[in-house]
Amino acid sequence: MHESILSALLILAGFVTLLGGGELLVRAASALAAAMRISPLVVGLTVVSFGTSAPELAVTLQSAWSGAADLAVGNVVGSNIANVLLVLGAAALTAPLVVHRRAVRVDLPLVLVASVALWVLALDGGVGRLDGGLLFATLVIYLVWSIRQGRGEGLAAAAIEEVALPPSSPWGLLGQVALLVVGLLLLAIGARLLVMGAVDIARVLGVGELVIGLTVVAIGTSLPEVVTSVIACLRGHRDLAVGNVLGSNLFNILAVLGLGALAAPETIAISRETLLIDLPIMIAVVLFCVPLFGSGIALGRRIGALLVVAFALYLTHVTLRATGSGLLPVFELTVLTLSLPLLLWSGMVWWRRARH
């Protein structure tokens, strides 16, 4: 009884800490964007997304070094799927998302290319140090290009919330950097507290360790992205929310897995199941974003709900696979039978609305 109460308090403290960290992060990031004349999209693609992906980086580095290849790769692939389905879905449920033209023309195609490249590199059964070096070098080039490109976009001062110190002041700029760091730390602490409490409660309820790792922990590492994107939408910085999703996916592939492969004592092995199921699902999720982002129509609550439901179905599929359940074939057939007509109908409706 006392353990359950303590676990509930951990979950509550985690939520509060996450909200506080997300609020500080969004405010600081938007102020820094104005001070440096960089658009919120670019800030979301770089500083915010890389900071919120810190939990994934820590898990993958530790897993790669200790030889837990499945966890290292599964963390990256699962987080990227969660970023699009859960994070983007939650953000769209909060407020309609209008995708910036640059995200459609540059960043989304780059995420797709990186996803396909990871699958190609994994065809030989693993990701080695040469592959990791190539991935990380690509990230460095992308960062330099993004910052240079983003400085020319500018940002109207009216679109930025007022801050205690003027952005042009050196002390004000230093203060916003400090707030951004504090926000990132609070996000990491909040996610950790929430996962600890949820894992304890799951154990009390008799849920297996494998299922906990594939569900609770997977969602926990994506909580910083969820909170940051939702708060960004509530504050009107919707470009930052979209940039956070795309940037996190890029960071997970190019930096998290790239550094993991460089740090690992040997090649990070990729299982046949991951190669044939999870990686193609990750690529398909990104492909699904291409017509959504390119149509020019705001991503509203219906799309957000569809994405969140798709994530719930993916989690169910992962759990059934992990537990070796006999219901897996029935589940796959049911989902396939119901989803194909729905996707075709949704695509037709979306295309007609886009044309008009």
pLDDT score, position 31 = 74
Evaluate whether residue 208 is within a structural domain: no
pLDDT value of position 224: 78
Residue range(s) defining the domain that contains residue 314: 41-152+213-325
Q: Is residue 48 part of a domain?
A: yes
* Cβ 177 vs Cβ 32: under 8 Å: yes
pTM of the shown model: 0.77
**Is 121 inside any structural domain?**
yes
Distance CA 84, CA 288 (A): 10
DSSP 128-143: -HHHHHHHHHHHHHHH
The structure tokens listed for 93 are 């449920």
Q: How far apart are CA 28 and CA 31, in angstroms?
A: 5
What local confidence, expressed as pLDDT, does residue 345 receive?
Answer: 66
Span 133-186, pLDDT tens digits: 999 999 889 888 877 776 555 444 334 334 333 445 566 677 777 887 888 788
Ranges under pLDDT 50 in the chain: 154-167
Q: Which residues of 100-113 are buried (b: 16+ CB within 10 A; e: fewer)?
A: bebbbebbbebbbe
Residue 242 CB neighbour total at 10 angstroms: 31
- What pLDDT score does 181 carry? 83
Q: Would residue 163 count as lying in a domain?
A: no
The residue whose two tokens read 């295309």 is 351
Give the end-to-end CA distance of the chain in Å, rounded to a whole number: 59
Q: What is the pLDDT of residues 6-31, one digit of tens each?
A: 877 887 787 778 777 767 776 777 67
Query: 103: domain CATH number?
Result: 1.20.1420.30
pLDDT for residue 132? 92
Residue 95 falls within a domain, yes or no? yes
| Any domain includes 306 | yes
Domain presence at residue 102? yes
Amino acid at site 255: A
**pLDDT at site 166:** 44
Rg for the chain, CA atoms, rounded: 20
317 occurs within a structural domain: yes
How far is Cα 35 from Cα 287, in angstroms, rounded to an integer? 35
Residue 137 is predicted with a pLDDT of 93
Report which of 100, 105, 97 is spatially closest to residue 238, judged by C-alpha positions.
97
pLDDT at site 130 = 93
What is the number of domains present in the chain? 1
Residue 167 confidence (pLDDT): 46
Cβ proximity of 287 and 294 under 8 Å:
no
Contact call for residues 115 and 286 (beta carbons, < 8 A) = yes
